[in-house]
Amino acid sequence: MPQHSPDWFTEVEPVVADLLDRHLSMAQEWFPHQYVPWGRGRDYDGPLEGVAWQDAQSALSPVAKSALVLSVLTEENLPVYHHRLAANAPRDDAWTAWLHRWTAEEDRHSTVMLSYIHSTRAVDPVALERARMRYMSAPSGSDDLPSDPLHGLAYVMIQELATRVAHRNTGLHCGESVCARLFARVAQDENLHMVFYRDLYAVLLDLVPDRAMAGLWRAVREFRMPGQAIPGFAEMNARIALAGWFDLEIFHDDVLVPLIKALRVRERAGLGDRGEQSRAELLAHTERLRRTAVRFRERRPVAPAPER
Ligand SMILES: [Fe+2]
Ligand SMILES: [Fe+2]
C-alpha cells in the first residue's frame, strides 16, 4: 500500500482488485480456536490462584521457544504495520479493501500463537507480555516500513515469503505435533499473501520497469526480517540460524532465488540504464550472498543435525 499516490497507483488498481478477487477465491476459512490444545491448559497464578509458569512445564527446545517468541511478537505488531500502511491511504478502493482483508487474516496469526503459548505454557507469559509492551511502545516505533511505495511493496513481498518459510520450518522442526500443525496453517496464509504481492510486483515490473527494478534492488539490499526491535532479537535469531531453521542460506535458496525466478528478473527486456544497473547489482548481490551463506554454513562449529 503506497504512502503517497504515484502515477502508477491508480493505473494498477484494477490489477489489485483482480488479485484480491483471486485471493478471496483461493483463501480457505480456518479458525484459530481449533488449532489450540485447550485441554492442556491450566489456570495461572494471579487472580485465579492457579499454578505459576515454570520453564520445565514445556518440553519444547530453546530453538522452538525462540521461534515462538519472535513469531508471536512480530505478528502481534500488526496494528503498527496497519497504521503505517493505512495512514496515507484513506480512499475506498481496491488497495484499501486488500489492506483490510490482509489485516483481518494476519490478526489470526498472533491469536493462534499466543493461545498456544498460554495453553501449553511454552514460554514465560509474563516475560512475553513485558517484551510485547516494550516492543510496541518503543519511542522510535517498532519496525519501520519503507516510505517509497515500490520499495515498500517489494519489501512486503520478500517479507511474506521469508515469514512463510520461517513459519514452515518452525512447524517442521519444532518436534511437537500441535505446534507443527499450527505453524503449517499460518504458513499457508503467508504463502497466499506472498503470491498476491509477487504477482502485483510482476505487473509493476512491466508497467514501470526501471523504477520497479530499482525498488526491488533496494528492498533486497536493505532487507531485514521484521522484529529487529524485539528485546533479545539478536540472540534468538542467532539460535534459530545456528540450528538451521532459518539462516542466510535458506533466505537465499528459498526466498531470493524463487522470487528472482518468478519475476523473471534475468530475462526481462526493455530496461533503461537505471533498470539495467539495478538488475546487475541485484544479481551480483544475490551471488555474493550465496557465497557468504555457504561460508557461514561451512564454518558453523557444530551442526550434526538441526537442533530440536
Ligand atoms: Fe502473519
Ligand atoms: Fe502475511
pLDDT tens readout for residues 197-225: 999 999 999 999 999 999 999 999 999 98
Query: What pLDDT score was predicted for residue 142?
Result: 55
Both ends of the chain: CA-CA distance in Å? 38
Ligand 2 centre from 21 Cα, in Å?
A: 17
Ligand 2 centre from 36 Cα, in Å?
A: 20
Q: Which ligand is nearest to the CA of 186?
A: 1
Query: What pLDDT score was predicted for residue 125?
Result: 98
Q: Which ligand is nearest to the CA of 160?
A: 2
Residue 86 in this model has a pLDDT that exceeds 80:
no
Cell of 308: 530440536
207 Cβ contact partners less than 8 Å away, ≥ 6 residues apart? 8, 11, 12
- The answer to whether the CB of 255 falls within 8 A of the CB of 286 is no
Residue of 82, 99, 67, 74 whose CA lies nearest to 240: 67
Q: Which band of pLDDT confidence, cut at 50, 70 and 90, is reported for residue 91?
A: confident
Query: What pLDDT score was predicted for residue 4?
Result: 54
Ligand 1 centre from 71 Cα, in Å?
A: 8
Ligand 1 centre from 81 Cα, in Å?
A: 11
Domains of the chain: 61-299 (1.10.620.20)
Ligand 1 centre from 221 Cα, in Å?
A: 23
Side chain identity, residue 195:
V
Ligand 1 centre from 75 Cα, in Å?
A: 5
Cell of 262: 518468478
Q: Which band of pLDDT confidence, cut at 50, 70 and 90, is reported for residue 78?
A: confident
DSSP for 11-47, written as a single string: HTHHHHHHHHHHHHHHPPP--GGGGS-GGG--PPSST
Ligand 2 centre from 156 Cα, in Å?
A: 9
**3-state DSSP call for residue 6?**
coil
Ligand 2 centre from 151 Cα, in Å?
A: 17
Ligand 1 centre from 102 Cα, in Å?
A: 9
Q: Which ligand is nearest to the CA of 159?
A: 2
C-alpha distances in angstroms, 188 versus 2, 40, 192, 297, 306? 25, 25, 7, 28, 23
Ligand 1 centre from 106 Cα, in Å?
A: 5
- The answer to whether the CB of 241 falls within 8 A of the CB of 247 is yes
Query: What pLDDT score was predicted for residue 141?
Result: 59
Neighbours of ion ligand 2 (CB under 5 A): 160, 190, 193
Q: Which band of pLDDT confidence, cut at 50, 70 and 90, is reported for residue 128?
A: very high
Q: Which ligand is nearest to the CA of 108?
A: 1
Ligand 1 centre from 101 Cα, in Å?
A: 12
Question: How many other C-beta atoms can be found within 10 angstroms of the C-beta atom of residue 135?
Answer: 20
Ligand 1 centre from 270 Cα, in Å?
A: 35
Q: Which ligand is nearest to the CA of 71?
A: 1
Query: What pLDDT score was predicted for residue 225?
Result: 87
Ligand 2 centre from 98 Cα, in Å?
A: 12
Ligand 1 centre from 187 Cα, in Å?
A: 8
User: What proportion of the chain, given as a percentage, has pLDDT over 70?
Assistant: 93
Question: How many other C-beta atoms can be found within 10 angstroms of the C-beta atom of residue 26?
Answer: 11
Residue of 243, 251, 294 whose CA lies nearest to 62: 243
Ligand 2 centre from 193 Cα, in Å?
A: 5
Cell of 30: 480456518
Ligand 2 centre from 43 Cα, in Å?
A: 32
